[in-house]
A and B are shown apart, each in its own frame.
Chain A
Amino acid sequence: MRRTVGTLKAVGALFYRLWMRFVRRLAALNTFVLMAFSFYILVLPIGLVRRILARGKEQEGWIRREPLAPDHYRKQY
């Protein structure tokens, strides 16, 4: 009985390790796909359009800062 339990535990541990390895790879793939999608479908086209619209408009030298409202500390932006 004890031997069976030990074997089951070892098999369970092996399964867990393999499963976690698989899940980590799946998560990495998932993140890659999501990131690639957002980068090439959203970031890139927006960037290209804005580059065309903003051509020659970039400010140089000192930029006047807008005074910060007294309650800006409440905001994270």
Chain B
Amino acid sequence: MLILGISAFYHDSAACLLRDGRIVAAVQEERLTRVKHDSSFPVRAIQSCLEIAECRIEDVDFVVFYEKPFLKFERLLETYVRRAPRGFASYRKVLPLWVKDKLWMKHWIQQRLNYGGPILFSEHHESHAAAAFFPSPFASAAIVTVDGAGEWTTAAWGKGEGNDLKLDYEIRFPHSLGLLYTAFTYYLGFKVNSDEYKVMGLAPYGQPVYQAQIEEELIRLHDDGSFRLNLDYFNYETGFTMTSELFEKRFGGPPRKPGEPLTQRHKDLAASIQAVTEKAMLRLCRRVREETGEERLCMAGGVALNCVANGRILRESGFREIWIQPAAGDAGGAVGAALALYHRFLGKPREVDGSCDGMGWGYLGPRFDGESVRRVLDNAGAQYEELPEPELIRRTCLKLAEGAVVGWFQGRMEFGPRALGNRSILADPRHSGMQAKLNLRIKFRESFRPFAPSVLEERQAEFFESDYPSPYMLLVSPVAADKRECLPAVTHVDGSARVQTVNEQQNGRYYRLIRGFADLTGCPVLVNTSFNVRNEPIVCSPQDAYNCFMRTNMDVLVMEQFFLTKEGQEWERP
């Protein structure tokens, strides 16, 4: 049985294909259209999923959309009704879009895919909850979903058991922890629904001096983990901006414009909203732990990508184990909708072995074999060597140890926002200037942005103050005090790091590369950042990877068994 899950029309459109309950493919549209956070109907992602599964759209038994368009439309209308006479400027722009396109999802699917089978609809937070619980390695668990907004829900919690789940409580729009964080993202001059992680990265440079003010004036955090916003400070309900004039007045002026320098005030604001978010999430999760009595927690929704908060939840909320959907944002909704349909609507059983999850370590996208890589390189006139794996790893490790920056492209593309060793840029974390080199010369991005480490799972506890596996790079933990000076490129200013643990079962070749580097240098850690440049999605195809390699100051490119150095190519320094 084939089920196709789709998420679209908000941000991060994606498709996911299940075969008999197993995820066989999941792809984000942005990787194929090369438009970051592409929200358009994911025709290419769907096509890619079908190609991976070697089937046609006619073979698909059910198509399921990740939310209910009519309920979302109702929320929009209700919001305009509640705020009128404010909001006409937004109303006259947004409403025609919905009436023309977004309401007619069934029609879109039928027309764009030429699909005549049943089309069903999950609910936004049920999709998140299903994406959090069903692929997790737990037989039963508490579930927490927190994001900007679904149809009405902005946060919810409940329980999952066997092949069923239930969200018991919720907080409704416009009161939203996700939108509060996004409001600060906007105010700090970053892109909304896109750059929230930059605020998280900026936070350790500041002090949470505005935390008390935010908690007094903007958000009331209740003891039971719920919260309520003071809407006088926000404009997102019916306006084109996130924050109101009152917000600007209280926090010292208009929003920062993109490109303007980041001052200490901006850093303090980032630290403050990060502290508030961590406090809110911890309080919520502690409450859920008490109410459900569960020892395991599953999370999804955009706020679950806040890996600093996740690290604290793991350490301080009382849950023994946590599992976070690697595509916790709306892209993962496609996975959740398909799984919800399979288990909840069709009543199919769920198998859990307690050790391995159902996300295939995140490698759910298209694969490009050696021959297609060779064709791209030949067409481009590239100079390359074809090497057996041991030699390829030896040469790559030598280059890394010399301080080279390596583009690493292999196997199936990752699903979700993190590069996990198949579409990654790698470097030596022991070099003190590596962070600045990668930010300014390779990725052309802000110099404050931190980099994450990949570490051999069995040696994680030597280098980081955690032995909890983090294969999806979704947990931040402190770097061991005696190792901070050894790993300057991945140690953030507060001594933390967003760790990816790697074992052989998860990604054999990447594991062997890090082990080779450890054998050579004694350091079982590599810098792992996504294979892209600023404002571009992560590369998908060998052509994307080659283009990115040639446009940046990257020193080496490894694609499958092919090894290229920049000196061997004809190129102009960007």
Contact = CB atoms under 8 A, between A and B. Distances in A.
Given A32-B92, A47-B84, A65-B169, A73 B70 contact: no
Interface in A1-42: 31-32, 35-36, 38-40
A60 B91 CA distance: 27
Q: Which of B81, B96, B166 has the most CB of A within 10 A?
A: B81
B91 to A, nearest CB: 5
A14 B172 CA distance: 53
Interface of B: 64, 68-71, 74, 77, 80-85, 88, 91-92, 95-96, 105-106, 120-123, 126, 153, 156, 158, 166-172, 222, 224-226, 228, 340-341, 344-345
Nearest to A45: B84
A36 to B, nearest CB: 7
Contact of A43 (B91, B96, B167): B91
Contacts of B222: 61
A76 B70 contact: yes
A70 interface: yes
Contact of A75 (B85, B121, B226): B121
A72 B84 contact: no
Contacts of B70: 76-77
A51 to B, nearest CB: 7
A65 B74 contact: no
Contacts of B166: 67
A43 B121 contact: no
B120 A74 contact: yes
7 contacts: A39-B88, A64-B168, A64-B169, A65-B169, A73-B120, A76-B69, A76-B71
A15 B222 CA distance: 65
A76 B85 CA distance: 29
A61 B82 contact: no
Contacts of B95: 35, 38
A64 B344 CA distance: 20
A68 B126 contact: yes
A38 to B, nearest CB: 8
Contacts of B344: 70, 73
Given A50-B82, A61-B224, A73 B122 contact: yes
User: Top 6 nearest A-B pairs by Cβ distance?
Assistant: A77-B70, A35-B92, A47-B84, A62-B169, A73-B120, A61-B226
Interface residues of A, number: 30
Contacts of B91: 35, 39, 43
Contacts of B156: 65
A76 B120 CA distance: 8
A67 B126 CA distance: 11
A65 B91 CA distance: 29
B226 A73 contact: no
B92 A63 contact: no
A60 B121 contact: no
A27 B225 CA distance: 49
B336 to A, nearest CB: 12
Contact of A77 (B68, B82, B84, B169): B68
A51 B82 CA distance: 7
B341 A65 contact: no
Contacts of A60: 226, 228
B80 A43 contact: yes
A48 interface: yes
B171 A44 contact: no
Contact of A44 (B64, B71, B84, B345): B84
Contacts of B167: 65
A39 B84 contact: yes
Contact of B123 (A51, A63, A68, A71): A68
A73 B121 contact: yes
Given A47-B81, A48-B84, A61-B224, A73 B170 contact: no
B226 A50 contact: no
A63 to B, nearest CB: 5
B225 to A, nearest CB: 8
A39 B224 CA distance: 38
A32 to B, nearest CB: 6
